[in-house]
C-alpha cells in the first residue's frame, strides 16, 4: 500500500507507457516488503533538466532511463561512472550527497547469463574493485554505486554451460551484429570477459570506423576490437564462440525475420553461444535457427531482468534482490507462461 512514507523510484522516457520495468520492479518490491514504489514518468526531451530538479525536490531515490534520455542526461549529472562514460549512455540514476549519479547496468545484465572465468577480469563494479578496463584512464570521474557486486538470488539462467572449451574467454571470439547503442554495452561486456577477439559487424563503413575509434579514446579502451562489414558475416560466424544480435531485426511484430541468412548461420559451430538481445518474440527466429544447428541460445529477457536487478540493488542498498520474482513477473506480463 502506498503511504505518505513510501519512497519513490521510477523510469523516465518519452514515450514510457510501453516500459516493462514497473512490472518487474514492483513485483520485487512487494516480495521484499519494503516501503517503495516504482512509477513510470513521461518526460519530454525539453523537460529533462526540470524533471531532475523536480525529482530532487520531492525526494525520488532513483530512476531508470529509456529512450530518448540515455545520452542527453550525461551533462546534467553530478557524476558518471566510467562504464557509463565508456558506453556513452546512462540507464540508472541514483541520489547521493553529491547529487544525481549515473551508471549503466546493461553490461552487468548482458554478462549475467554467460559463464564467467573463475577469476574474471572484471568483478562487477564493487566499491574496491578496479577493472583492467578502468585502469586505462585513472583520471575518469568515477561514481561507484552503493552496491553492484555479489551473489544474486535467482533461478538458473537459460544457459549455464561454457563456451566451447569452458568458461575461459581468453581464447574466445565474440561476433556482435550491429553497431548501435546496444552494441556498445556488449563490447564492454566482452572486453570484461577477456575475449581474445571482438568483432562488430555493420553496414556503413564510416559508422563502423567511428565506432572503433570511439573505443580508442574511451575511459575504458578496448584494444582487441575489430570492425567488419556485413559481407564478412558468414566467415565471422564460422569463427564465433559467442554470436550476439544487437539489431532490432526479428523484433515483434516482425518475428519471422532474422538478422542473418540461413546459409550464414549454417556455419555456426555446435556448442557456440548465440545471444539475442530481443526478448519478444521469445524465442526469436534467430535463436530458433541457431538451436537447430546445435548452438546454445540465450534470449534478451534475462538481460532485461538482470540489468533491472542490478539497478534495484543500488537503489535499495541490498546485496541481493529476488531475481526469480522479477523474471516471473515479466514472463507473465509478456504472456510467456
Residue 327 CA to residue 27 CA, distance in Å, equals 9
Residue 25 CA to residue 54 CA, distance in Å, equals 22
The SS3 call for residue 18 is: coil
Residue 269 CA to residue 51 CA, distance in Å, equals 49
Give 283's strand partners: none
Residue 135 CA to residue 225 CA, distance in Å, equals 18
Taking CA atoms, 326 is separated from 251, 257, 336, in Å, by: 22, 28, 14
Phi-psi domain of 7 (left: phi exceeds 0; alpha: psi -120 through 50; beta: other): beta
Please give the radius of gyration of the chain, using alpha carbons only, rounded to the nearest integer: 19
Question: Do 241 and 174 touch, CB atoms closer than 8 A?
Answer: yes
Taking CA atoms, 276 is separated from 119, 160, 177, 208, in Å, by: 26, 16, 10, 20
Question: Do 101 and 51 touch, CB atoms closer than 8 A?
Answer: no
Of 3, 7, 44, 70, which is the active-site residue? Answer: 70
70 is catalytic: yes
Active-site annotation, residues: 70
Amino acid at each position: 500500500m502506498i503511504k505518505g512514507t513510501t519512497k519513490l523510484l521510477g523510469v523516465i522516457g518519452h514515450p514510457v507507457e510501453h516500459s516493462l520495468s514497473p512490472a518487474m520492479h514492483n513485483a520485487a518490491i512487494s516480495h521484499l516488503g519494503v516501503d517503495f514504489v516504482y512509477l513510470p514518468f513521461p518526460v519530454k526531451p525539453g523537460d529533462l533538466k526540470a524533471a531532475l530538479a523536480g525529482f530532487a525536490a520531492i525526494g525520488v531515490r532513483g530512476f531508470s532511463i529509456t529512450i530518448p534520455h540515455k545520452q542527453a542526461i550525461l551533462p546534467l549529472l553530478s557524476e558518471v561512472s566510467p562504464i557509463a562514460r565508456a558506453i556513452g549512455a546512462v540507464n540508472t540514476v541514483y541520489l547521493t550527497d553529491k547529487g544525481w549519479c549515473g551508471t549503466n547496468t546493461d553490461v552487468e545484465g548482458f554478462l549475467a547469463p554467460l559463464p564467467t572465468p573463475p577469476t574474471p577480469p572484471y568483478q562487477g563494479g564493487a566499491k574496491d574493485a578496479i577493472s583492467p578496463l578502468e585502469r586505462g584512464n585513472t583520471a575518469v570521474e568515477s561514481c561507484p554505486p552503493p552496491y553492484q557486486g555479489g551473489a544474486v538470488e535467482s533461478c538458473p539462467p537459460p544457459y549455464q554451460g561454457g563456451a566451447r572449451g569452458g568458461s575461459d574467454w581468453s581464447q574466445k571470439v565474440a561476433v556482435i551484429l550491429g553497431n548501435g547503442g546496444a552494441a556498445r554495452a556488449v563490447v564492454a561486456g566482452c572486453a570484461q570477459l577477456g575475449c581474445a577477439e571482438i568483432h562488430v559487424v555493420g553496414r556503413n563503413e564510416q559508422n563502423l570506423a567511428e565506432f572503433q575509434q570511439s573505443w580508442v579514446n574511451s575511459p575504458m579502451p578496448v584494444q582487441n576490437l575489430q570492425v567488419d562489414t556485413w559481407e564478412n558475416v558468414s566467415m565471422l560466424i564460422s569463427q564465433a564462440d559467442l554470436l550476439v544480435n544487437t539489431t532490432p531485426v526479428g523484433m515483434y511484430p516482425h518475428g519471422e525475420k532474422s538478422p542473418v541468412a540461413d546459409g550464414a548461420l549454417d556455419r555456426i559451430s555446435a556448442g557456440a553461444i548465440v545471444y539475442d538481445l530481443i526478448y519478444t518474440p521469445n524465442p526469436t527466429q534467430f535463436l530458433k535457427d541457431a538451436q537447430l544447428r546445435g548452438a546454445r541460445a540465450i534470449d534478451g529477457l534475462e538481460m532485461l531482468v538482470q540489468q533491472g536487478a542490478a539497478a534495484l540493488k543500488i537503489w535499495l542498498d541490498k546485496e541481493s534482490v529476488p531475481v526469480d520474482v522479477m523474471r516471473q513477473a515479466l514472463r507473465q506480463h509478456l504472456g510467456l507462461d
